[in-house]
Amino acid sequence: MNRLVLAELACTSLPPLSADIGQGLYAVLEPALDASQELIAVIAGRAAPTRGRVTLNGKTPFDHPDVRASIASVQAEEAPLPERTVLDAVTSTLALHPEASPARAVLERAGCAELCNERVERLSAREARSVALAIALAQPEPALIALHEPLATRVDPSVLRSALARAARRAVVIVTISRFEDSRALGGRVITVRPHGWREFSAARLGAHALRVRSDSAGELFTLLEGMPEILQVTRVGQKELLVHGEALEPLARIVAEQARRAGFALAGLCEQIDPYLLGSTPGLPHSGSQQVAIPADPKRPIYGAAERRR
Amino acid sequence: MNALSAGVQLAWTRARTPSLPLLLAASAALAVALVHFTESSLDAVLEGPVLGWTLPIVGYLIAQRVTDNQRLDHSLEPLARHGADRRRVAVGLLLVSAALSALTGGLLAIVTVSAAHEHFDAAWLRDLAATTLVASAAGLVYATWFWGASTIGRRGGGRLWALAGDLVLGAGSSLFALPFPRSHLRNLLGGLPPAGLSQRAAWLAFAILSALTTLNTLRRLPR
């Protein structure tokens, strides 16, 4: 059984973090690129943490080559080995994993077959990450898979989903995602990074309605809204965005608007989120998307009445 | 494939650019031009522009290429992330840069000595053997020197400091010149010795410099 332990882990852009994670798929919702990159680098043994400790099955990946051999990872920026073609680069990389499939098969399986004869230096950033993801998914029996934004590649999402679901039966699979929808779409458990620990996003607390709130003060607004009884759950879904869950739309919108007004935070947008991934009752929804509603100057005027009637 | 051979392959792939043979050809042409068109003696040309300046600069450029212009430990990541031992990969990188630097030194020595002699006689052969040996050994020392210096700085900027230190402080003959390969190379070529060291001591200094740099670099690298 594979186990990843983070003990008071601290990095430049991450709050101190402790967690004990068994096998399974975890989508870590982390809007900040630096923090996401650093988390993947540290748990994959590609960088040493500033403070604290990361262990995979009792050993630190950074100091143990045998542990790193059982880790597949993809960072925000990837560069294949400096060979002539992508196929050569993948072949050279897979030489370090003797049990892996041949390079061409690995690229074909990930839907990147057309990159085989492409010159390595001509790859775009997205293509380079796709090649790295193809290699990561080809690694035989990894103990840990750590991926940064795997949906932002050329790899087919359905191939990725099934590969990750399969791997999660035996390995710890950690995926960092900046878009909330992507984290839900990948399946598994959605985790948000909080100081001193990870918090699991509760699917039971999705409620019937969700509001996407845009504000330059999203972080401060998050703190204000978090403890309110009418709000089932608040999640940061971007640098300047929150997703606020509740049972009734109008009170939800009113609370958000009132709290923002009281604290003097400007709201750049308030949308009803009707994406099936984001609501408790997914079946029967006519469509997904979001609907922007203007926030009235008069605090007594209904905010979402018109939008609800339209639905 | 083991980590050492993977390191050798990675270093060779990085170093194998058209600029390397061009650089060697330009250095050789410069050596010939200096011998023919200046009134300097062979010793002065070897100690000064050819082995005193060109060899360390080419050694520096080789180290830049082999480490992909990064700090040494970062340059190993493409293989280390897949479970290769960083120290073994680093030795692979050192082997390639040492071979290329020694080859550069040897080539520069052969070209310069041959250009300076009118006849390919016994004197030429004697000069050639002695100079090629010293120049190749100096190439090896420079390779370990820049390889070790690559562990310093965010992007391996220690390499540039090592080069500057060698060119400036290594040119002297005081105690400060002792840690720099250039002073011992000059001694072995028959020039002014640093701190009055003998030529035998210069060979020993080469060996100690290389061994200390290698061991210290390997000790500093995580596995």
Structural tokens at position B161: 């400091």
Instruction: Chain B: give the shortest CA distance to residue A63, in Å.
Output: 5
Determine the residue of chain A that is closest to B11 in CA distance: A82
Total-model pTM: 0.75
Which residues on chain A are in Cβ contact (under 8 Å) with B14?
82
What are residue B141's phi and psi, to 5 degrees?
-65, -45
CA A52 to CA A10: how far, in whole Å?
6
CB atoms inside a 10 Å sphere around CB B151: 21
Determine, for residues A83 and B68 on separate chains, whether the beta-carbon distance falls below 8 Å: no
Contacts of B141 (CB under 8 A, 6+ apart): B181, B184, B185, B206, B209, B210
The predicted-structure confidence for B20-64, as pLDDT tens digits, reads as follows 888 888 888 887 887 777 777 777 778 888 888 888 998 999 999
Determine, for residues A79 and B10 on separate chains, whether the beta-carbon distance falls below 8 Å: no
- A307: pLDDT confidence band, cut at 50, 70 and 90? very low
Instruction: List the single residue in B10, B68, B83 with the smallest CB-CB distance to A69.
Output: B83
CA trace torsion A198, A202, A203, A206 (10° rounding): -120
What was the pLDDT predicted at A204?
58
CA B209 to CA B141: how far, in whole Å?
7
Which residues on chain B are in Cβ contact (under 8 Å) with A79?
78
Mean local confidence (pLDDT), A71-96: 89
Q: Is the pLDDT of residue A223 over 50?
A: yes
DSSP E strand boundaries for B22-130: none
Tell me if chain B has a CB within 8 Å of the CB of A53: no
Best mutation site among A60, A64, A68 for testing chain B: the one with the most B CBs within 10 Å?
A68
Q: Count H helices and E strands in chain A, helices first.
A: 10, 14
- Point out which residues pair with A5 in neighbouring strands: A20, A55
What was the pLDDT predicted at A195?
65
Tell me if chain A has a CB within 8 Å of the CB of B73: no
Half-sphere exposure in the Cβ direction for A60 (13 Å, CA): 14
Which residues on chain B are in Cβ contact (under 8 Å) with A145?
none
Q: Is the pLDDT of residue A260 over 90?
A: no
Instruction: Chain A: give the shortest CA distance to residue B219, in Å.
Output: 13
Mean local confidence (pLDDT), A199-215: 72
Which residues on chain B are in Cβ contact (under 8 Å) with A48?
222
DSSP E strand boundaries for chain A: 3-11, 14-22, 24-29, 51-56, 71-74, 144-148, 172-177, 189-194, 197-200, 209-215, 233-238, 241-246, 267-273, 290-292
What Å distances lie between residue A293 and A133, A230, A269, A302, CA to CA? 39, 21, 8, 11
Q: Is the pLDDT of residue A2 over 50?
A: yes
What was the pLDDT predicted at A283?
37
Which residues on chain A are in Cβ contact (under 8 Å) with B3?
65
Determine the residue of chain B that is closest to A60 in CA distance: B223
What are residue A62's phi and psi, to 5 degrees?
-60, -35
Q: Is residue B148 within 8 Å of B219, Cβ to Cβ?
A: no
Best mutation site among B81, B91, B219 for testing chain A: the one with the most A CBs within 10 Å?
B81
Instruction: List the single residue in B13, B85, B86 with the smallest CB-CB distance to A81.
Output: B13
Strands A51-56 and A3-11 come out as antiparallel
Quick check: ipTM above 0.90?
no
Determine, for residues B81 and A73 on separate chains, whether the beta-carbon distance falls below 8 Å: yes
Tell me if chain A has a CB within 8 Å of the CB of B154: no
CA B162 to CA B155: how far, in whole Å?
14
Which residues on chain B are in Cβ contact (under 8 Å) with A74?
none
The predicted-structure confidence for B135-149, as pLDDT tens digits, reads as follows 999 999 999 999 999
Determine, for residues B13 and A96 on separate chains, whether the beta-carbon distance falls below 8 Å: no
CA A53 to CA A124: how far, in whole Å?
34
CA A231 to CA A243: how far, in whole Å?
11
What was the pLDDT predicted at A287?
36
Mean pLDDT, chain A, integer = 79
Mean local confidence (pLDDT), A12-39: 80
Q: Which residues of chain B from 76 to 115 reach within 8 Å of chain A, CB to CB?
A: 77-86
CA A58 to CA A43: how far, in whole Å?
13
What was the pLDDT predicted at B212?
93
- A207: pLDDT confidence band, cut at 50, 70 and 90? low
What are residue A70's phi and psi, to 5 degrees?
-100, 15
The predicted-structure confidence for A231-241, as pLDDT tens digits, reads as follows 888 877 777 88
What was the pLDDT predicted at A201?
67
Mean local confidence (pLDDT), B162-183: 88
The SS3 assignment for A145 reads: strand
Structural tokens at position B128: 């050639």
What percent of chain A shows pLDDT beyond 70? 82
CA A272 to CA A293: how far, in whole Å?
8
Burial of B131 (0-12, 13-18, 19+ CB in 10 A): buried
The predicted-structure confidence for A137-174, as pLDDT tens digits, reads as follows 988 889 999 999 888 888 888 888 888 888 888 899 99
Tell me if chain A has a CB within 8 Å of the CB of B119: no
What was the pLDDT predicted at A311?
41
Which residues on chain A are in Cβ contact (under 8 Å) with B79?
96
Question: Which residue, A230, A300, A301, A215, is CA-closest to A264?
Answer: A215
What Å distances lie between residue A51 and A11, A18, A39, CA to CA? 7, 12, 13
Of residues A279 and B120, the one with the higher pLDDT is B120
The predicted-structure confidence for B69-97, as pLDDT tens digits, reads as follows 999 999 999 999 998 999 999 999 999 99
Question: Which residue, B24, B47, B62, B46, is CA-closest to B145?
Answer: B62
Mean local confidence (pLDDT), A173-186: 79
Q: Is the pLDDT of residue A98 over 50?
A: yes
